[in-house]
Structure 1
Amino acid sequence: MFRPEGEQRYYGFRDVYEVDRRAVRDRDERLANLFLNAPASTNRQIATIRAESARYNLGNVARNFNTPTYALLFLRASHKSRFAFELVNDTSPPLGLDRPEPDDGAGVQVLGYRETWPTTVLRGGDGRNMPTQGRFWLDSATGRVLATELVVDDAAVKAVIAVRFEVVDGAGDEGPARLVPVEMRERYDNRETVTRIDGTATYSGFRWFSVEVVETRP
Structure 2
Amino acid sequence: MSGMTTAAAADSEKRSPGRPRSARSEQAIIDAVLEMIADGDALETISIESIAARAGVGKATIYRRWASRDQVVIDAVASMKLPIPEVAGESVRADLITLMSQIGQPNGARSGKVMTCILPQIARNPDLHEWYQQVIEPRRAVTRAVLRRGIDTGELRADLDVEVVLLVLTAPMILQRTMRWNPALDGPDLAERVVAAVLTGAAPPA
The answer to whether TM tops 0.5 is no
Q: Which structure has the greater CA radius of gyration? A: 2
Greater RCO, CA 8 A, separation 6+: 2
TM-score by length of 1: 0.25
Between Structure 1 and Structure 2, the one with more helix by share is: 2
Between Structure 1 and Structure 2, the one with more strand by share is: 1
